[in-house]
Amino acid sequence: MSYIEIISTAVAICPIIAFILSGIYFILQYKKYGSVSFFRTFILYTFLLYCICAYFLVILPLPNREEVARRTGPTTQLIPFNVIKVFVEDSGFTLTKPSTYLTALTSHEFLQPTFNFLLLLPLGFYLRYYFKLKAKKASKIALLTTIFFELTQFSGLYGIYSRPYRLLDVDDLMLNYSGCMLGFLIAPIFVAALPTREEIDNKAYKHGAHITLMRRAFANFIDILITALVYSICLLFVYAVYHISFLNELATFKQFEHQLPYILAIGYIIINVLYHIIFILAIGGSTPGKYILGIRIIDKREKKLSKFRILIRYILYLSLTYAIPLSIIYIYYKYLLNNLIAAIVMGIILALTLVYTIIRVIVGIFSNKYTYFSYELLTRTKLSTVIKDDNSSSILQNQSY
């Protein structure tokens, strides 16, 4: 497997890993900055891609386990600068013969140590540019990283192989470490055209002062996941009780089986109502999703807001989100489907409601102004953001729009 094939494999796998980690990443970004910066996301994605490529270059290609078990050669090379001796002896290089230079520079004896030197050079760049580390700390990370790579090989890929399938080479340690520190030293040359970490953070904080629809949607998504988990646990408990106890023998319970979809829907609404009421009383109106993303509910006119009004807001929100649409759909299919005029009228109402919601969402996406929904207008409430500066425990932003 060539270097190009290994890197291509890493490029193919990186989006999958990034997608798996995206939820955690969004939470951390919204919690710290109140927004997700495109440029920061690009930097961290390229860093993740680089880490995967570097790791794959260390472990791939994977040989056959039986073939490795039959090997009897050395597993370590502990002589410093042995790589120079190997290059001079085996690459065909002769100092007095320029005709040997090209062949020597394209030989395995030259390319392998060169790639080992370049392997951690980007790491030094990232450590200085984005992670803002000093030379001493970057040196420690460089040393630990190259030791990790060498031990990964020496352990036979953590015991998967009966013996190492690559040498633990002291020259590789020195080359990896030197490459990383060179990347750290030359980083300022390449970052002149790039925004600084401080500029990226300040821009993120500025954007974080706005409650975007994406941020609201992600907060709601977290709440939905939590309520779905709680609801699933409740269903499993009810299922266990029903099938283990005498209840499954009673005709009273069996007659409700055909109404199970409606019972499940009502049960989910009840779980949502209890979930929001509990957290209104516990943390002043912020659900876990909003709390994690640094969002709170305030009065539209910056006046004091009671928990009762927050409760009304959530009741309206849940009604408009779950109860009313489910009720309308139930009535529509149960009673109005055979009545053409009533079905058309109800369909128009549902269509207009859907169109209104879509328009509000589109306006909110392309406008910097706060997007008010009906339950917020009725309760005179809105969402506000609280963002904390890294350099201070005080509140940097506490603005609402």
Show Cβ contacts of residue 92 under 8 Å, excluding neighbours closer than 6 positions: 100, 103, 104, 107
The pLDDT, as a whole number, for residue 399 is 41
Helix residue spans in 160-259 (DSSP H) = 170-190, 197-208, 213-244, 251-254
What is residue 394's predicted lDDT score, i.e. its pLDDT? 37
Share of the chain above pLDDT 90, in %: 13
Q: Which of 202, 211, 205, 196 is nearest to 32 (CA)?
A: 205
Rounded to the nearest 5 percent, the helix, strand and coil shares of the chain are 70, 5, 25
Q: Give me the chain's average pLDDT, please.
A: 79
pLDDT band at 246 (very low <50, low <70, confident <90, very high): low
Residue 30 CA, chain-centre distance (Å), reads: 11
* Mean pLDDT of the region 70-90: 87
Share of the chain above pLDDT 70, in %: 77
Residue 200 neighbours by CB distance under 10 Å: 17
Paired residues of 395 in beta bridges: 388
pLDDT at 16: 84
- Lowest mean pLDDT across 19-28, 131-140, 359-368: 359-368
Q: What is the pLDDT of residue 313?
A: 84
Q: Report residue 170's pLDDT band, with 50, 70 and 90 as the boundaries.
A: very high
- Strand 381-385 relative to strand 295-299, pairing: antiparallel
Query: End-to-end alpha-carbon separation of the chain, Å?
Result: 56
CB 69 within 8 A of CB 148: no
Query: How far, in Å, CA of 20 to CA of 17, rounded?
Result: 5
Query: Where residue 242 falls among pLDDT bands split at 50, 70, 90?
Result: low
Q: Compute the distance between CA of residue 303 and CA of residue 395 in angstroms, rounded to an integer.
A: 20
What's the sign of the alpha-carbon dihedral 244, 246, 251, 252?
negative
398 confidence band (pLDDT: 50, 70, 90): very low
Predicted confidence (pLDDT) per residue in 288-333, tens digit: 888 888 888 888 776 777 778 888 888 888 777 766 666 766 676 6
Q: Mind listing the pLDDT tens digit for each residue in 192-209?
A: 778 888 888 888 777 777
Do 332 and 343 contact (CB within 8 A), yes or no?
A: yes
The pTM is what?
Answer: 0.69
Q: Are 313 and 287 in contact (CB under 8 A)?
A: no
- Quick check: 69 and 162 in contact, CB under 8 A? yes
Query: How confident is residue 360, by pLDDT bands cut at 50, 70 and 90?
Result: low
240 vs 339: CA distance, rounded Å: 42
| CA atoms of 235 and 260, how far apart (whole Å) | 12
